[in-house]
Amino acid sequence: MTPTSSRTRVLVIATDPVVGALLGMLLDPAQYEPVFPQHGERPEDALARVRPPLVILLDGAQEAARSDLFLARAQRSRAALLLFAPTGEAGATPATAGTRSVPWIALPIDRAALSRALGEALARAAAGSTWSVAGTILGGLLLPPVVKSSVLAAMSLLG
């Protein structure tokens, strides 16, 4: 049995429990430990409880991907995010991922490709290239582009 402490905890968030379980089984057991929200637990609460270095949002969890609260908490905890979407229904995911600057990947996927994607997401987070919470929040507001860019610049100065 692989020691838990040596593995990276991955929070898997999915609306469909079967999809979540399948993806959890696809994680390389030598490297990753899948963790899931408890029954009825909100994604942001699971994030606060587990504090994982990596979060996988499956197609059914698009609401979490669009949640400013969730993304703000993920950013604060420096967790890497990765969105997954089925190949045939990937339309909404790239749009969400593009707005948030979150990497996404299409399902189905094999274990090797999944490990590569997780490794890249972790490396991306470690390098400080995270998603844009501010940009997304502002993106949803009807503000002139000049105002948005000014606010974003001010927020970036504030760190």
Binding site residues, other proteins, CB under 8 A: 12, 14, 16-26, 29, 34-40, 86-89, 107-111
> Which CB atom, from 41 or from 68, has the smaller least distance to other proteins?
41
Contacts of 39 (CB under 8 A, 6+ apart): none
CB atoms within 10 A of CB 5: 7
Q: Shortest approach of other proteins to residue 119 CB, angstroms?
A: 17
Q: Shortest approach of other proteins to residue 86 CB, angstroms?
A: 4
> Which CB atom, from 6 or from 38, has the smaller least distance to other proteins?
38
Q: Shortest approach of other proteins to residue 135 CB, angstroms?
A: 30
Cα(117)–Cα(47) distance, integer angstroms: 20
- Short-list 98, 100, 89, CA closest to 58: 89
Cα(35)–Cα(56) distance, integer angstroms: 10
> Which CB atom, from 21 or from 138, has the smaller least distance to other proteins?
21
User: Which H or E run includes 55?
Assistant: strand 54-57
Q: Shortest approach of other proteins to residue 14 CB, angstroms?
A: 6
> Which CB atom, from 5 or from 87, has the smaller least distance to other proteins?
87
